[in-house]
Amino acid sequence: MTLQTLPLFAPIAADLQTVVDKLRSAADIEDQLLDEALAMVVAAGGKLIRPALAITATNIYGADHAKTISLAASVEMLHTATLVHDDMIDDAARRRGMPTLHTLLNPASAVLLGDYLFAQAAAWAAETDNVRVVNIFAATLMTIVEGELRQMWAKRNLQRSEENYYERIHGKTAALFAAACEAGGVLGGAPEVEVQALREYGRLLGLAFQIVDDVLDFVGDEQKLGKPVGGDLRSGNITLPLIFYLHDDHHTWDDLAQDLFEGRRLSDEQVRTLVERVVGSPAIERSLREARHLASAARRALTPIPASPHCSTLVELTDYVVRRRH
């Protein structure tokens, strides 16, 4: 598993490589087929934003290096475990350009391997020897599961999707961003007001990140995304761009959207058509404007945090999340 992350994380590249090596060590179980499948999931990697948040927040104050790595690895492994289950729930065929675990094996094996990753993440959280960090981990996992349940219950239901969109993306993404920052502050011994500021920063950053993710599901480059656009439409998930599109009086009774709400699975051609309609409307810019608003709020949340190169990295990250294209 090679290191693939953002240039702004260059100062912590060595720490992130250590996290990557620790993640890879988890893919070692006594069954060749399962070992290879799990190793591929871990090796698929990502931008490592979540462990980078944990390391950066901790570095503002200083903490035991080994415990910092354990925290960062716990955060990323928790994220990886949620993806394994999420892909199966959404019946997604590809993630980061690679086949998903349930398509390689079977749903039952994917559930159990996802559970294995959750357990490994919990074990690494415990390595911090910090009860509050473990409590943050447990509370975050419950929030993530609640978010998945909300998303499942809101599928193909416009009213419910509008009402709980921000609750859903809080559970889906923002909760783990917030936990990484909060736990980093706790491990570093930050004053409570600063711990809460870091948590709020992570929450707002995560909301902005997920809105952009939802936009990229309409306008992204499939090669860079590693998955087809329109994935949310295929799985019946109603996200902010579609909500804004339907708020336009001209699109209230869009025929394809109605098919989606009535439980009919859209064909690939219908998905492409609905994607084009949303992209051609003001919905994309409205969604990005909302993401930029949240990113600005995240920057303001950092006001109590002492000035340092590490805090500057957190500020720069607010710009990245709204400019990214994959």
Summarize pLDDT for 185-244 with one digit per residue, the tens: 999 999 999 999 999 999 999 999 999 999 999 998 776 666 678 888 888 888 999 999
| Higher per-residue pLDDT: 89 or 273 | 273
Check pLDDT > 90 for residue 18: yes
Residue 318 and residue 142: Cα distance in Å, rounded? 26
- What number is the average pLDDT over the span 64-74? 97
Integer angstrom CA distances of residue 56 from 53, 265, 273? 5, 43, 42
Amino acid identity for residue 132 in this structure: R
Amino acid at 219: V
Distance CA 306, CA 304 (A): 7
* pLDDT for the residue 325: 81
Residue 163 pLDDT > 80, yes or no? no
For residue 1, pLDDT over 50 is answered with no
The token duo for 51 is 């462990």
- The mean pLDDT value for 274-300 works out to 95
What pLDDT sits at residue 99?
62
Encode 277-300 in three state secondary structure.
HHHCCCHHHHHHHHHHHHHHHHHH
pLDDT of residue 92: 65
Which pTM was predicted?
A: 0.89
Q: Which two tokens stand for residue 320?
A: 């990245």
- Average of per-residue pLDDT values in the chain: 86
Reported as a single tens digit per residue, the pLDDT across 263-276 is 777 888 999 999 99
| Percentage with pLDDT > 90 across the chain | 54
The band of 65, judged by pLDDT with boundaries at 50, 70 and 90, is very high
Mean pLDDT (whole number) for 167-187: 95
The answer to whether 295 touches 204, Cβ cutoff 8 Å, is yes
Provide the terminal-to-terminal Cα distance of the chain, rounded to the nearest Å. Answer: 20
Superfamily grouping for domain 11-323: Farnesyl Diphosphate Synthase (1.10.600.10)
Cβ-contact 238, 156 below 8 angstroms = yes
Question: What is each CA distance from 179 to 143, 158, 185, 287, in whole angstroms?
Answer: 11, 30, 10, 25
Position 35 scores a pLDDT of 64
Looking at the predicted structure, is the pLDDT value of residue 298 above 90?
Answer: yes
More confident residue, 114 or 57: 57
Alpha-carbon 208 to chain mean position: 11
